[in-house]
Amino acid sequence: MERVILHSDCNCFYASVEMLHHPELDGKPLAVGGDPEQRHGIILTANYIAKRAGVKTGTALWQARQACPGLIIVPPRMDLYFRFSEAAREIYREYSDRVEPYGLDECWIDCTQSRECLGSGPDLAKEISARIKRELGITVSIGVSWNKVYAKFGSDYKKPDAITVIDRDNYREIVWRSPVGDLLFVGSATKRKLLRCGILTIGDLAEADPLFLQALFGKMGLVLSVFARGEDQTPVAADRSEASVKSIGNSTTTPRDLTTGQDVRMVVYMLAESVASRLREHGFVGDVIEIYVRDGDLCGFSRQHKVDMPTNISEEIAQEALRLFGENYTWEKPVRSIGVRVSHLMAEDHPYQLSLFSDPLQREKQLRADIAVDEIRSRFGFQAVRRGLMHVDTKLSEDDAQTHVVHPHGYFERGNRTGV
């Protein structure tokens, strides 16, 4: 039985959710981005009106405003986007028990077993698209194919609010005639190499000698060959088989450069509280803690360490982050930005081995204190309760550190069936 795979991609996800909460901005160019006064000057996403004016994800705010003088920029609200993401997945789960997230706004859905009772792949795509629009107020683009790679290609092929079916009859006309850079995992560097070899389209890549591609890219060359030919058999992961994201992190470019350990301590605790709160909100713990640091010249490093027990306790995250910072930063230059991330996520009720060197009662007290703080902040705002440390420099602690970054699982983490 040939598989039926859907890939659903929420169109301009962050911006679309914000448009729902700002109906007065309907018809105007809108982008989600940072605060230029706090030196958080990057566009995260934009609506299609802004994109048509030249606003691109990842550009500086000043560049976006030059491209689109009337651009309206709103700050990100990751907690809101998480809720919409989960609501979309709840709809997908009504059609399959195999729903694999690829970030907050994308999911693969394996409908192979459900098509006999629920309908064909295109019919299911139409129904899902209509429900997302009706129940959530946003739109999705959906690709339908017999493998994950072509399904994702289909969701990118037409936007917004579109359904593209790529089957055995049309894939050569749709996929193979498209630029090689449109294929999953063909990044800018890979694309440049392929173009230099005269491989301009996905069809050129599909017809290239796999051994030649292996000589160029190693094993990844064979993978790209399989992807281009539509022979990928990588499965769609079973729903809820693990955390839907690989890590949750938060970083900040501080309003002024950090010049002392006290400065760093304040920012790290602010970030750790924010990350720990998100972990608890979504029922995760993690046992790998990472920091990333940049100085005034934008040079820096990242370091990570696996802790003895998985955690979502702010004190434990902050202490480990500060230890990593202290052991690795030499203070040759002031610090411009810091990030804290927790990865190797698992459900908070997942069993784990206790450590002989930890105090379970103390950990329980710290967790209860964090939960109490969460409740207060949810009712009265982030600034309603703060550590005394935050009052040392109110300029540094004005930012509530709510701009989160979530990292999707890699394509092959749940099993590679490409046969290479």
Window from 211-225, 298-312, 391-405 with minimum mean pLDDT: 391-405
Rounded to the nearest integer, the mean pLDDT of the chain is 88
What mean pLDDT do residues 353-379 have? 84
Check residue 402 and give its pLDDT: 47
For the domain that residue 269 is a member of, what is the CATH number?
3.30.1490.100
Give domain status of residue 268, yes or no: yes
Same domain, 64 and 106: no
The predicted model gives 135-164 an average pLDDT of 97
Is residue 104 pLDDT above 70, yes or no? Answer: yes
pLDDT for 311 = 94
Closest CA relative to residue 261, chosen from 187, 174, 356, 330: 330
pLDDT surpasses 90 at 147? yes
* CATH code: domain of residue 31: 3.40.1170.60
| Residue 78 confidence (pLDDT) above 70 | yes
Q: Please determine, for residue 175, whether its predicted confidence score (pLDDT) is greater than 90.
A: yes
Work out the average pLDDT over 100-108: 90
> Do 111 and 225 sit in the same domain of this protein?
yes
Domain with 36 in it: 13-76
> How many alpha carbons fall within 13 Å on the CB side of residue 67?
21
- Is 234 part of a structural domain of the chain? no
| Least-confidence region, from 107-116, 288-297, 303-312, 377-386 | 377-386
417 confidence band (pLDDT: 50, 70, 90): low
pLDDT value, residue 241 = 46
% of the chain beyond a pLDDT of 90: 62
Considering the domain architecture, whether residues 222 and 282 belong to the same structural domain is answered as: no
| Share above pLDDT 70 across residues of the chain, in percent, rounded to a whole number | 90
pLDDT at 239: 62
Question: pLDDT tens for residues 222-254?
Answer: 999 999 999 999 999 876 545 556 788 888 888
Q: Which residues pair with 141 in a beta bridge?
A: 9
- Of 76, 102, 117, which residue sits at a domain end? 76
Residue where one domain finishes, among candidates 24, 47, 76: 76
How many domains is the chain partitioned into structurally? 3
pLDDT at 397: 64
Residue 5 inside a domain? The answer is no
Does residue 351 share a domain with residue 387? yes
Q: What is d(CA 343, CA 305) in angstroms, rounded to the nearest whole number?
A: 10
Tell me, yes or no, whether 47 lies in a domain.
yes
Please indicate, yes or no, whether residues 64 and 111 belong to a single structural domain of this protein. no
Q: What is the dihedral of CA 80, 85, 91, 96, to 10 degrees?
A: -160
375-394 pLDDT, tens digit each: 888 887 777 888 888 877 76
Between the CA of residue 179 and those of 27, 99, 127, 160, 191, what are the distances in Å? Answer: 32, 29, 30, 20, 9
Evaluate whether residue 196 is within a structural domain: yes
Final residue before a domain boundary, out of 198, 229, 260: 229
Query: 252 with 206, same domain?
Result: no
Q: What's the pLDDT tens digit per position in 16-53?
A: 999 999 999 999 999 998 765 554 568 889 999 999 99
Give the global pTM: 0.70
Asked whether residue 183 is assigned to any structural domain, the reply reads yes
Residue 313 above 90 pLDDT?
Answer: yes
Calculate mean pLDDT across residues 142-152.
98
Residues 403 and 262 in one domain: yes
Same domain, 35 and 87: no
pLDDT computed for residue 255 by the predictor: 81
The pLDDT, as a whole number, for residue 390 is 81
CATH number at residue 151: 3.30.70.270
Residues 114 and 165 in one domain: yes
Whether the per-residue pLDDT at 418 is higher than 70: the answer is no
CA dihedral 387, 388, 389, 392 (to 10 degrees): 140
Instruction: Tell me: pLDDT of 178 over 50.
Output: yes
**Among 42-46, 171-175, 182-186, whose mean pLDDT is lowest?**
42-46
Looking at the structure, tell me whether residues 403 and 305 fall in a common domain. Answer: yes
Tally the residues of the chain: 420
Catalytic residues: 106
The pLDDT of residue 10 is above 70 = yes
Instruction: Summarize the confidence of residues 103-119 as an average pLDDT.
Output: 90
SS (H, E, C) the chain: CCCCEEEEEECCHHHHHHHHHCHHHCCCCEEEECCHHHCCCEEEEECHHHHHCCCCCCCEHHHHHHHCCCCEEECCCHHHHHHHHHHHHHHHCCCCCCEEECCCCEEEEECCCCHHHHCCHHHHHHHHHHHHHHHHCCCEEEEEECCHHHHHHHHHHCCCCCEEECCCCCHHHHCCCCEHHHCCCCCHHHHHHHHHCCCCEHHHHHHCCHHHHHHHHCHHHHHHHHHHHCCCCCCCCCCCCCCCCCEEEEEEEEEEEECCHHHHHHHHHHHHHHHHHHHHHCCEEEEEEEEEEEECCCCEEEEEEEEEEEECCHHHHHHHHHHHHHHHCCCCCCEEEEEEEEEEEEECCCCCCCCCCCCHHHHHHHHHHHHHHHHHHHHHCHHHCCCHHHHCCCCCCCCCCCCEEEECCCCCCCCCCCCC
Residue 334 pLDDT exceeds 70: yes
Shared-domain flag, residues 85 and 72 = no
Q: Quick check: is 242 in a domain?
A: no
pLDDT of residue 407: 58
Whether residue 135 is found in the same domain as residue 259: no
- The whole-number pLDDT of residue 5 equals 97
In a domain, 263, yes or no: yes
